[in-house]
Chain A
Amino acid sequence: MLAFEKGIGSLVTGVGRSACWLFIPLMALVVFDVVGRRFLSLPTVMLQELQWYLHGMLLLLTIGYGYIAGVHVRIDVISQRFSERTRLFIELAGIALFLVPYIGLLFYLSVNFAWQSFETGEASSAAQGLSNRWIIKSFLPIGFLLILLSGVVMALAAYRRLLESRSGGLVTATDGETTR
């Protein structure tokens, strides 16, 4: 069980941390767009589309990692007074009632969304835009799946801590706190 939790956790985290390197090609692309346009006659529409493609990938691949890393905003003004066990129960309930249904629905819908795009050979509406819209659209289900997996990891961790706290060995939660 622990190995499963750790394995999935390092998969989500690994994908997220690697995706952070996309900042560099994104920045390079913006600079190239500004400078290159002055000297070469490049279709700027295509470059701009490539920019939001890259950012789309970047953000979709990092959200799950963000949850495990504990960066997502929480209003902890009241909950910080709860006991450790109560907070763990809230985390479990939140994952079951909010995260899984909402992100699960988005995952289910986005699979069709990307598939439709692939089947119809959807391309940019701009003449000089990129073809193959399905590529960026398939990052939607991938990203949502990563968030779902991060939910599984966090739920398993909360469950494990609940068991530990019952058997007396109280472990202080650190991962779940906001570290912004």
Chain B
Amino acid sequence: MSIADALPIIMFLTLVVLLFSGFPVAFVLGGVGLGFGLLGMVFGTFSELEFFNILVRIYGSVVQSYILVAIPMFIFMGTLLERSGIGDDLLQMLQRLLWRLPGGLAVSVTLLGTIMAATTGIVGASVVMLTLLALPVLVARGYSPELASGTVASAGTLGILIPPSIMLVLMADLLLTSVGKLFLAALVPGLLLAAVYVVYIVAICWLRPSIAPATKREAPLDDGRSLLGELLRTFFPPLVLIFLVLGSIAAGWATTTEAAGIGAFGAMLIALTKGRLTLPVMREVLEASGRINAMLFLIFIGATAFSYVFRALGGDYLVEDLIRSSGADSWTILAGLMLLVFVLGFFFEWMEITMIVLPIFAPIFPLLDFGTHVESAHVVLWIAILMSINLQTSFLTPPFGITLFYMRGCTPKGVEMSNIYRGVIPFVVLQILTVIAVAAFPALALWLPQIVLD
């Protein structure tokens, strides 16, 4: 193999090394793309004119995209909901309903995370909200710091898997598949994961009552009518939002972008009616949304240069050849890919993995053959869902789990980082088990889109 042929490999390795410099990922991606474009010119495998194509591609795929407008709308919606006070009300209500259950408070937190996940598409907001809202309460009630932080971290990250989710919008864009289909396919696995968390929490609290003291009865519940009223008042706004956003996409009434815009509007109305939306809060919400949006799309701009040059230098043929010549069967390739995503998750987040790894491996997805296990038409969708569940682990695996990073800033007294590291392990194991379950039973992901869309 000549140096020119090996350039894509050298390029990838250079990227990995330079990313650890701590300089913003997006600029490293762009710089490495540019550098290897120049190297390619030296070796005659890249032409100067192609740099212009990078710009055209950035304009075409990042700016001129109606579908991607859904992402800022979901971000805006999530940031609004975080500040709307909806979370406080829901948590109190869930606590009152579940006080009898072993680990009832932890289960409440997981359920709150699930509801928030189904209303918003981003993770940062839910994690910070749950950490501030629920972690101090859990610790104060005598829950072990490990269980408390594991619960909060895992519940907070459900947002990226359970639709609507900006990760799924981005994946659909990169895999040239429909967002609605991906949303529907992720719904059952996402809820399954949440259910697995709940079962685990109840079981462990029942087996080891010392880590989760029984909760004293909350405010009296005897007045059935007022409880019903409160139930309605608390659950109505988020349920309407879920119905509006997910329902209208599933029913084919609205495009993802429309649903996201309507969702943002709804979130704004909720925040307004709760009296939380003062002008300073509004400005904070807008600026926080703007920063998250800028962060995400800058990676896109950097990754566009990287993957364009990587492909132009023959990178995708190289990956294909390497995989072909290894003689591995489809299952081994899939397992290898899943392992790669899992390992990368220790250092990177879903954003980098989705935008760097997905473009490199996406061309081989349709070539994989799983016989009758998964019809060839559904392979790409199935793998995307497996990857999405797998990417959940990237939030929780130290040393660089973004959730741990969020939590680091706002943990109450009595919770150390080491508690958090230990606390997330069982939840990471549950995530891996869920990946295996969806791999073994593809219907978990493929059934819903089939019955709804066909």
Contact = CB atoms under 8 A, between A and B. Distances in A.
B25 A98 contact: no
A116 B405 CA distance: 45
Contact of A75 (B25, B261, B297): B25
Given A59-B72, A66-B294, A140-B59, A73 B26 contact: yes
Interface in B378-408: 399-400, 402, 405-406
Contacts of B124: 180
Interface string A77-118: 111101000010011011101110111011001100100000
A27 B265 contact: yes
Interface string B6-32: 000000000000011111111110111
A21 B348 contact: no
Nearest to B55: A109
B19 A19 contact: no
A131 interface: no
B76 A23 contact: yes
Interface string B58-74: 11001111101100110
Interface stretch (B106-114, B132-140, B252-260, B413-421): B252-260
Contacts of A71: 291-292, 294-295
Contact of A94 (B23, B287, B299): B23
Interface string A123-136: 00000000000001
A27 to B, nearest CB: 5
Interface stretch (A2-10, A30-38, A164-172): A30-38
A69 interface: yes
A77 B402 CA distance: 11
- On chain B, which size bracket covers the interface? 35 or more
Residue with the greatest number of chain B CB neighbours at <10 A, chosen from A21, A80, A106? A106
B115 interface: no
A23 B69 CA distance: 10
A163 interface: no
B406 A52 contact: no
Interface in B293-330: 293-295, 297-299, 301-302, 305
A59 B294 contact: yes
Nearest to A136: B63
B193 to A, nearest CB: 23
Nearest to B261: A30
Contacts of A51: 66, 69, 257
Nearest to B300: A59
Nearest to B72: A55
Contacts of A69: 291
Interface of B: 19-28, 30-34, 51-52, 54-56, 58-59, 62-66, 68-69, 72-73, 76, 124, 254, 257-258, 260-262, 264-265, 268, 286-287, 289-295, 297-299, 301-302, 305, 347-349, 351-352, 399-400, 402, 405-406
18 contacts: A23-B72, A23-B76, A23-B289, A29-B261, A33-B261, A34-B254, A52-B68, A56-B64, A59-B63, A62-B294, A66-B298, A72-B25, A90-B23, A101-B31, A109-B55, A113-B59, A137-B59, A180-B124
